[in-house]
Structure formats: structure tokens, C-alpha cells
Amino acid sequence: MKYSIVFYLLIVFLLTSCFRHNETKTITVGIPISMSGKYSQESHLMLDGYKLWKDYVNAHGGIKIGTKRYKIEFVVKDDSSDPYKSALITENLISENKVNFLFGPYSSRITLADSAVAEKHKIPMIIAGGASEEIFSRHYEYISGLLPPSKDYFKTAAKMLAYKKFQDENVALVFGEGPFNISVALKGKTWLESNGFTHVSPFEYSDYANSLSGIVRDLRDRKIEIVLFAGHINDIDQFIKRSKRISYMPKIAVFTVGTHIFYLSNYLKNFSKNIFFVTPWNKHLSLRGLLFTSSNNYENIFKMRFGYSPDYHSAAATAAGIVLQNAIEQSHSINPQIVQNAILKSNFPTFYGRIKFSKTGQIIKDINVMEIKGNNAYLVYPLDVAESEITIR
């Protein structure tokens, strides 16, 4: 709390001193995001990542174009985790609020709707919370994404399980509705089979409350030892609670999200002893680049500001800001088309890794595997970047 107060006072002082003595203008970024509803937990993580970039840039004088300084302002609106509402909000941000640029919402399902609106109005949208290839297969010209393709999310996990020689085990791919989850699971099956797994079964759950309960019972009755779960924080929480309720304890569980609930005392007790999750970013990767200089430095600044350590949701959101800032400063413009062209040509290092986009506008980036050990998570695969050995108990 002490450090947070100091940080806020420092920002206020720098803002008043920087913007008082220079000609300043404003760049407005619109953010449709789920502050309530199913996706609220991940959305709050992303919004903190966006805020950190904005506060950091404004505290250091804003974005510079020639002799002019531009202060960053946000217009944030709650879409209640509803794609239809979010699309209307995006339309309103452009038409009524006259935002210059857009940062994307959380979830591929909502991003599909919002990005169509951004494309219609030719307003660049930088996406930090949507990974489905369906978003980027439409040949849109005004979108870019900071998450790797969803089809790759279980690629490294499949290799890790093969490395530990679990090919003869029964494996379940449990996945929810929506383009991200379906893509992760279906391609995950391919990754597993290409690594020698022959007993792979898919289980799709719906948004209905009892859907997961039936799947958990089926997994227990079929004695499934390894579960790869594609879903969001609320889904993972429900899966673990329902598993514990009927004493289902898979030998290994791999999740698409490393949620904070994993670190709660006794939360994982009587579940699985071997918990893994996949991530495109972690501070231990020792990445360096613009603005925050290193992944460790970013983690320290973020934790001082918000009181918790960032995960890839927050990091990708902050990276979205860096991408926008770099494109504006390199192109010396805030013209949407000129800035978007500069975004897609990005090729520079950051704390999040190298920013370089594929032809579809999605970042070229690897997925890593983390393992929960006690109250901490450690990078364990691939081996060339691992900070700790894989522990299978």
C-alpha cells in the first residue's frame, strides 16, 4: 500500500510538470471490456495491463510526434461479457466518443463481434484477449493480435507429455463452447496423436450449469489419468470443484489458464498433484526491449502498482499499448491507416518478446508450460527455457 501511494503521487507530479510546459494533445483509446459477467476476472487482468501502459507513458511525457506530445486517455465501457452488447459499445465508442484507436476485449467470441465493427469503420484494433484463428482468417486490414494462434496452445504440452513418456495413458481433451476452446481442443488432439498418443477422447461441455458435472463423472468412471482442459477461469474453477466433490483425481491436469485460484491455500488439495498450465509469457523468460526494459522489471513495476504479479493477460495488454505507441512514433502520425500499416510492419523487442506479426495480423510467438509447485508456478518446458525440472508425483 505504501509503494502504491508513492507511485500515484509520482505520476501526479510528473503529469503536471510534463504537460504544463509542453504543447499537449490527446489520443483517445476505446476499450470495450467485460467488467462484469463470465469473463470479468480475465478482463480485469487485461484492463490493469492497459492502465499500466497508459500511466507509464503519460508519466514520461506522453507519446511524441515531432515537437508535440500526446497524452493517452481511455474510454472504458462494460460489455457484461455479451458479444452483442460489446459490438454496440464498440460502435458507440467510434461514432459517439470519436476514439482514435481501439484495444480489444477479452475472449475470442466477443472479439469476433467487436473487430468486425472496427474493420467497418477502418479503426485499428489491437487485440490482447482473443487468440482464435477465426478472428484473423477474415483478411481484415485493421486488426492485429498479441496472442499466439489458439491451435498452438497445447502443442508444447503434448511434446512435454511425450517427453515424459505418457503415450500409453488415457487422455481427455475437455473443452467449452466458443471458437477459442474448440480450436485449442481439436488441434490439441492432432498434437497429441502426432506425438504418439493413441487413447485421446474429446469431451465438450456447454454453458449450462450441470454440463461439467456429467463430464467429470464420465472421466472418473473411465479412469482418465490425464486431462487437458480448454476453458476460462470460471470454467476451470467449476471443473476442479466438481472433481473434488466426487473424488476424481486425475494424475495430470493441464489448463489453458494459470489462474490465481491455484495459489490459494489447500485449493488444489484432493485434486491432482500434478498441475500444469500453458502461457505465451512469463517473467522468467528474461525478455528485454522497449519501455519496461525487461520482463523482470515489468513484473516489479506492475506488482508495485497493483499489488499482484501479472500473468500473460496483463502482459499482452501492456504490450498492445507499446505496439500502438511505437507505430505512432515511428510513423509520425495518428492517421488510422498509416498507423495500422506501421503496426503490421512491427519488428522490435519488448518485455513481452519480439513483436512481429504474421500475414494474418497475429503475433508470431511460442507457448510455454508452467507447473504449480506449492504456492508458486515454475517454467518447466521447453527444456531450453525451463527454470525448474518437471515434477510428476
- Domains of the chain: which residue ranges? 2-148+283-356, 152-279+368-385
Give the integer Cα–Cα distance in Å for 333 and 124.
Answer: 13
Maximum Cα–Cα distance across the chain:
70
* pLDDT for the residue 210: 74
152-279+368-385 matches 2-148+283-356 in CATH topology: yes
* pLDDT for the residue 184: 96
C-alpha 224: how far from chain center: 29
CB atoms within 10 A of CB 134: 18
CATH number for the domain formed by residue range(s) 152-279+368-385: 3.40.50.2300
Give the integer Cα–Cα distance in Å for 29 and 322.
Answer: 13
264: Cα within 13 Å, side-chain hemisphere: 6
Helix axes 312-331, 40-59, angle to 10 degrees: 40
* pLDDT for the residue 211: 81
* pLDDT for the residue 12: 47
Given a cut of 70, the residues of the chain with pLDDT beneath it are 1-24, 208-209, 260-261, 263-265
* pLDDT for the residue 4: 52
Q: For residue 340, which amino acid is it?
A: Q
β pairing state of 125-127 and 101-103: parallel
Per residue in 72-102, pLDDT tens?
Answer: 999 999 999 999 999 999 999 999 999 999 9
Give the integer Cα–Cα distance in Å for 1 and 17.
Answer: 25
Written as nine digits, the cell of 192 is: 497429441
Written as nine digits, the cell of 202 is: 474429446
C-alpha 162: how far from chain center: 26
Q: DSSP labels for 105-145?
A: -SSHHHHHHHHHHHHHHT--EEESS---HHHHTT--SSEEE
- In 3D space, the residue among 241, 246, 313 whose CA is nearest the CA of residue 41 turns out to be 313
- How far the first Cα of the chain sits from its last, in Å, is 39
Q: Would you call 89 helix, strand, or coil by DSSP?
A: helix
* pLDDT for the residue 289: 82
Give the integer Cα–Cα distance in Å for 218 and 289.
Answer: 47
Residues ≥6 apart with Cβ < 8 Å to 336: 100, 101, 122, 123, 124, 142
* pLDDT for the residue 14: 52
* C-alpha torsion sign, points 300, 306, 308, 311: negative
CATH classification (class only), 2-148+283-356: alpha beta
Give the integer Cα–Cα distance in Å for 321 and 61.
Answer: 15
User: In degrees to the nearest 10, what's the CA dihedral of 110, 101, 47, 296?
Assistant: 120
- In 3D space, the residue among 200, 246, 198 whose CA is nearest the CA of residue 227 turns out to be 200
Give the integer Cα–Cα distance in Å for 277 and 229.
Answer: 9
Per residue in 120-149, pLDDT tens?
Answer: 999 999 999 999 999 999 999 999 999 999
- In 3D space, the residue among 94, 91, 118 whose CA is nearest the CA of residue 104 turns out to be 118
* pLDDT for the residue 291: 86
Is residue 392 left, alpha or beta, with left meaning phi > 0 and alpha meaning psi from -120 to 50?
Answer: beta
* pLDDT for the residue 249: 94
Written as nine digits, the cell of 194 is: 502426432
* pLDDT for the residue 287: 81
